[in-house]
Amino acid sequence: MCGIVGYLGNDRAYPILIDALKKLEYRGYDSAGIAIWRNGKIEVARKKGKVDELREICASGFEGTMGLAHTRWATHGTPSERNAHPHRAGDVVVVHNGIVENYIELKEGLRKDGHKFLSDTDTEVIPHLITNHLNKGADFAEAVRLSLAEITGSYALGIIHEKDRMLIAAKKESPLVLGIGDGEFFVASDAPALIGRTNRFIFLEDNDIAVMKDGSLRLMDVEGNEVERKVHVLHWSGAMAEKGGYKHFMLKEIFEQPMAISDTLIGRVKEEQGEVEFEELKLPGLKRIKRIWMVACGTSYHACLIGKQMLEANLRIPVEVDIASEFRYRDPIMGRDEMLILVSQSGETADTIAAMKEGKRRGAYVLSVCNVLGSTLARDADGVIFTHAGPEIGVASTKAFTTQVSALYLLMLHMGRKLGLMGNEVVRARIADIKKIPHKLQTLLDGAGSIEELGRKYMGFKNFLYLGRGINFPIALEGALKLKEISYIHAEAYAAGEMKHGPIALIDENMPVVVVSPNDQTYKKTCSNVEEVAARRGNILLFKDTDAHEMAAKANVVFHVPAVPYDLQPIVHIVPLQLFAYHIANLLGTDVDQPRNLAKSVTVE
C-alpha cells in the first residue's frame, strides 16, 4: 500500500518525482526514497519519515532526467531507512507497491547463488532476481519479464538499470498508470499524482509490462506477447490537486461538496422528462434481479448502508450490505439473478476488489460506484457509475462520501423508472429535490463558522457517542469514524434505540452524545432517547432540522441543518459532523490530511 512514481524524459527528474510523491503520500508515509539516473550512475536517497524529510536530505537536489521514487506503508519490515525503497541489487534499482508472497523461498534460492540482502523487505528479492537473469545473459527487459514470472503476489513496479537509460513498469493486482507526455513518460500509482504534467494516461492491466526508452513505449505481457492499451484523456486540472488557500485538503474537500454533487448530477438527470440516465452504464434486465448486495469498506460501507435503505424502500428489492473483508470469506449465497454493487472512492481497495471477483465467480451482475477513472473496480466491473467528486486527497473521505450517496440516489431513480415503479412525475420531483442540495449545502457551509467554536469546547473530551436512526444511523457511524480517524479520540456510534441495551451505562456528564435528529418518522423516538441521555446528565449535541425540536432545551449544543426529503438527509447531516471532527483535529494539531497509521487506499488485506 505504497505510492510509486517514475519519470523518463528531457526535464530534471527530481522535482517531478518529489512533487508526484507528495501527492501519493496519502498511500503511506512511514519512509520515502528516490533514485536518479545520470550518465550511467544511479544515486539513491532514502529516509524514515515523510517526503519532506526525504527532501531535506536531498537539499543539493539531484541532476538527471530519469528516476524513481517511493513512499512507503510498511508491510514486511519495520519503517526504517534500511527497509525504505528504492531497493538495489547490482545495477538494478526497484520501487514496489504490493507483496511478494513467495519471497522467503525466492530469498533462500538467491542466497544459495551468493546474493546478499540488506533489508527485511519482500521487495528486495526483485532486483536480485533481475540481476540473476542479467547474469545469465538476458537483456534488461527480458530479465524483468523472467523475474516477474517467478513471483507470486501483487506488484506495481518501477525499475531502472544503471547502464541502460530505460524505464520499466509492471503491474499485477496493484494499481499503476502510465502518463504519456511529449517525448517523456511518467509512471505513478494513480493518475491524480500526475495532474498538471500530462492528461494522457494508459491504465496498465494485470501482467502488463511497459518498456520505455528513447521516446518510445513497448507494452507486453509476462509471456512476452505484445499488448495494446487505450490512451485515456482526463480533464482534471492542476488546481484540483492543490489546497487552494485552505489549511488542509480535508477542509477544501468539505467545502467542495456542493460542486462535487452538482458534477455528479450533470448529464444524468433530465428533469423535464423525469429520467435519470448513466451514459456509461448498461444494466442487465432488471426484472430478473431478485436481490441486491452492496459491499465496501469504511466510509464507502456507510454509503452502502444508506443505499440499502433507499433501494429497499423505493424499489422493494431486498438488499444485503456487507463489509468487503467479511464478504470475501463468508461463502455468500449469491446467484446469477442478483446484483452486486461495490462502492469505492479509489476503486483500488483490495478487499472490495476481492469481493468483485467473488461476485463475478458466482455469476452476479457486478456494478461499481467509483471516483477514479481507470481504477480496477471501474475497469473490471460489468458496469460503472462514476462519482464526479474530483481528486480526493485528504485521507478522511468527505466529498467522495456525499457523491456516493448522491450517485446511489440517482441509481435508485434510474432503476425505479426502468422497473416501472416510478412514473415521470415522481422522478421529476425527486430530481428537483436533489438539485436543491448543492445550494442547501452551500448555505450550511456559509453558516458553519460556529462549528470551530464547538470544536474548541469539545476537544478535551476523551470519548464520544454518536446516535442516529433509520437512514441517519449510518451518519452516526460516519460522524464517529471521522472523529476517530483524524483526532484520535474514541467515538462509537449506535442506532439510537439500541443505546438502552448497553451503551447507556457509559453516560454521565463526561460523555458527549452527538444526536443526529431530523424531523422524520423516527423523530419522536429519537426525542425519547435524548430524554434518556439528558436524565443521566449526558452532554448532548443536537443536530436537528426543525425549529421546534422538543429536545432543544435539553441539549448543551444545538446545530441547525437544512430540512430536506428523507433519502437526502444523510448528505446534509454528515457535513457538520465532518466539520466538527475537522476542527477538533486541527485544534489538537494532528496531521489532518495524513492521520497516523492510515493510508488513503488500502491495497493490501
Nearer to ligand M6R, 354 or 504 (CB): 354
- Among 425, 446, 472, 442, which Cα is nearest to 262's? 442
Instruction: Identify the active-site residue in 2, 297, 304, 370.
Output: 2
Interface pick for ligand M6R out of 68, 84, 395, 574 (rule CB under 6 A): 395
Q: Is 270 a catalytic residue?
A: no
In the bound complex, what is the minimum distance in angstroms from residue 409's beta carbon to ligand M6R? 18
Nearer to ligand M6R, 378 or 465 (CB): 378
Instruction: Give Cα separations from 32 to 53, 149, 297, 604 (angstroms).
Output: 8, 27, 27, 19
In the bound complex, what is the minimum distance in angstroms from residue 1's beta carbon to ligand M6R? 10
Nearer to ligand M6R, 357 or 439 (CB): 357
299 contacts ligand M6R (rule: CB under 6 A): yes
179 contacts ligand M6R (rule: CB under 6 A): no
| Cα pseudo-dihedral 188, 191, 196, 201, rounded to 10 | 90
Question: What's the number of CA atoms in the CB half-sphere (13 Å) around residue 212?
Answer: 26
Q: Exposure string (b/e) for 403-431, b if CB count within 10 Å is 16 or more?
A: bbbbbbbbbbbbbbbbeeebeeeebbebb
Residue nearest to ligand M6R (CB): 298
- Give the whole-angstrom CA distance, residue 395 versus residue 486: 9
Nearer to ligand M6R, 271 or 591 (CB): 591
- Give the whole-angstrom CA distance, residue 519 versus residue 549: 8
- Locate all alpha helices (DSSP H) within 113-184, ordered by sequence: 125-135, 140-150
Q: Which stretch binds ligand M6R (CB under 6 A): 204-212, 214-222, 298-306, 515-523?
A: 298-306
173 contacts ligand M6R (rule: CB under 6 A): no
- Among 422, 338, 418, 352, which Cα is nearest to 380's? 352
Q: Which stretch binds ligand M6R (CB under 6 A): 233-241, 358-366, 389-397, 437-445?
A: 389-397
Q: Is the dihedral of CA 438, 443, 444, 446 positive or negative?
A: positive
Q: Which stretch binds ligand M6R (CB under 6 A): 325-333, 390-398, 497-505, 560-568?
A: 390-398
Instruction: Give Cα separations from 455 to 573, 587, 592 (angstroms).
Output: 17, 8, 14
Residue 143: CB atoms within 10 Å: 23
Place of cell 434481479: 289
Interface pick for ligand M6R out of 297, 356, 513, 555 (rule CB under 6 A): 297
In the bound complex, what is the minimum distance in angstroms from residue 344's beta carbon to ligand M6R? 3
147 contacts ligand M6R (rule: CB under 6 A): no
In the bound complex, what is the minimum distance in angstroms from residue 477's beta carbon to ligand M6R? 11
Question: In whole angstroms, what separates CA 517 from the centre of its chain?
Answer: 29
- Give the whole-angstrom CA distance, residue 394 versus residue 398: 8
Nearer to ligand M6R, 184 or 256 (CB): 256
User: What are the φ and ψ backbone dihedral angles of 341, each rounded to 5 degrees?
Assistant: -105, 120
Question: What's the number of CA atoms in the CB half-sphere (13 Å) around residue 10?
Answer: 5
Are residues 586 and 458 in contact, defined by beta-carbon separation less than 8 angstroms?
Answer: no
Interaction mask 414-453, ligand M6R, x per CB under 6 A: ----------------------------------------
Q: Is 2 a catalytic residue?
A: yes
Interface pick for ligand M6R out of 356, 366, 385, 396 (rule CB under 6 A): 396
Interface pick for ligand M6R out of 369, 408, 602, 603 (rule CB under 6 A): 602
Instruction: Give Cα separations from 415 to 73, 111, 310, 387 (angstroms).
Output: 41, 59, 12, 17
298 contacts ligand M6R (rule: CB under 6 A): yes
In the bound complex, what is the minimum distance in angstroms from residue 368's beta carbon to ligand M6R? 10
**One-letter amino acid for residue 121 of the chain:** T
493 contacts ligand M6R (rule: CB under 6 A): no
In the bound complex, what is the minimum distance in angstroms from residue 73's beta carbon to ligand M6R? 12
Interface pick for ligand M6R out of 262, 314, 397, 472 (rule CB under 6 A): 397
231 secondary structure, DSSP code: P
Interaction mask 302-341, ligand M6R, x per CB under 6 A: ----------------------------------------
Place of cell 432543544: 552
Binding to ligand M6R (CB under 6 A) within 349-378 occurs at: 349, 352
User: So which residues are the catalytic ones?
Assistant: 2, 600
Residues that bind ligand M6R (CB under 6 A): 297-300, 344-346, 349, 352, 395-397, 485, 601-602
